[in-house]
Amino acid sequence: MIEISNLFKQYGEQPLFNGLNLEVEKGNIVVLIGPSGSGKSTLLRCINGLECFQKGCISVDGQKRYGVNEQSYNKTDEDSMVKDIRRKVGMVFQQFNLFPHMTVLNNITESPVRVLGIGRAEAEATAISLLQKVHLEEKAQNYPAQLSGGEQQRVAIARALAMKPEAMLFDEPTSSLDPEMIEEVLLVIKDLVSEGMTTIIATHEMGFARDVSTHVIFLEKGNIVERGSPKKMFSNPKNKRTKIFLSRFMK
């Protein structure tokens, strides 16, 4: 479903990824863990076309996007390719990024109506059912500022789902939430993955990672240090640095 091959990315002179490879099968739940600055967010943003990269190829459901220094790179193709990829993958941000000038309902219907050309009535019906799924149907007419952080993030998830994506990317979805709100968001994500949605999550919630994931990847300074099943990674990590990192979280 998502295939990353030989990914090179650098910020100015500062290299981040040096030939990173990753394959995500349909239905996989991949959790990215690692210290801050290890490249978890950047990897997700590369997949979604919010960041460019120098070399390598990212393929989503057969749509290939090349690094800017690759021979196959073409600016015009790039734009339409990114558009196609974005329609296939939804993204949820650490800062929610809801549109403050629109009601919850309009936040969700805006893109289906404007981009997919779905009728307003139909889009609203879908939005309401998605809000039910995240237990916020009574907040449909509220503005984002009237919602708690946890509620905002659940609306953001519903908003991404409204575009009917085939995969979801979560970029530290609970990192800017108060502890008591983390659980409600994680429950929604759990529901989602139990339905078989292909998912990549960057997170620091290790317990959650162990419970829901099919694959765990430990990133450090842009390199995949270790990868494996959650059982193997959490109970018996091979790499010394993985051990040190996990020991800080698994007390």
Partner 1 sequence: MYKKLMLMIRKKSIIQSYLILQIFCFVICFFITNTFAYQDTLEKVKSSGVLTWGFDAEGGAPYVFHDTKHPSKLIGFEVDLVAAIARELGVKVQHFQNEWDSILLSLQRGDFDIALNGVEITSDREQAVLFTRPYFVYAEQIVVRASDNRINCLEDLHSKRVGTLYNTVAKQILDEMGDVTVNTYSGQIEPFKDLSLSRVDAVLVDLPIASYYAVPNPQLRMAGEPVGEGYYGIAVRKEDTALADELNIIIEKILRSGELKKIYERWGVWNVSQEKLFFHEGLLQKYTEMPPSLSKKVSLRVTTFLPTLMKGALVTIGISILSMMLAVVLGLTLAIMRLYGNKWLRRVSTAYTEFYRGTPLLIQLYILYYGLPNIGITLSAFIAAILGLGMNYAAYESEIYRAGIQAIPKGQTEASLSLGMSRRLTLRRIILPQAFRIAIPPMTNDFIALFKDSSLVSVITMVELTKSYSMLAAASMNFFQLGIITALLYFGMSYPLSIYARRLEKKLKYYDRNQ
* Footprint of partner 1 (CB under 8 A): 48-50, 83, 86-87, 90-91, 93, 95, 97-101, 110-111, 114-116, 143-146, 156, 159-160, 163
Instruction: Give min distance, CB of 138 to partner 1, in A.
Output: 18
The structure tokens 């059982």 sit at: 231
Instruction: Give min distance, CB of 168 to partner 1, in A.
Output: 11
Which DSSP letter does residue 116 get? Answer: I
Complex with partner 1: residue 155 or 186, whichever CB lies closer: 155
For 61-133, list the strands marked E by DSSP: 63-66, 89-92
Identity (one letter) of the amino acid at 36? S
- Residue 158 in contact with residue 131, Cβ under 8 Å? yes
Complex with partner 1: residue 41 or 242, whichever CB lies closer: 41
Q: What is the dihedral of CA 93, 99, 103, 109, to 10 degrees?
A: -70
Instruction: Give min distance, CB of 158 to partner 1, in A.
Output: 12
Complex with partner 1: residue 49 or 222, whichever CB lies closer: 49
Complex with partner 1: residue 62 or 117, whichever CB lies closer: 117
Instruction: Give min distance, CB of 185 to partner 1, in A.
Output: 17
**Chain-centre distance of CA 97, in angstroms?**
14
Complex with partner 1: residue 81 or 225, whichever CB lies closer: 81
**Rounded distance, CA 238 to CA 243, Å?**
7
Instruction: Give min distance, CB of 112 to partner 1, in A.
Output: 9
Facing residues of 155 across strands? none
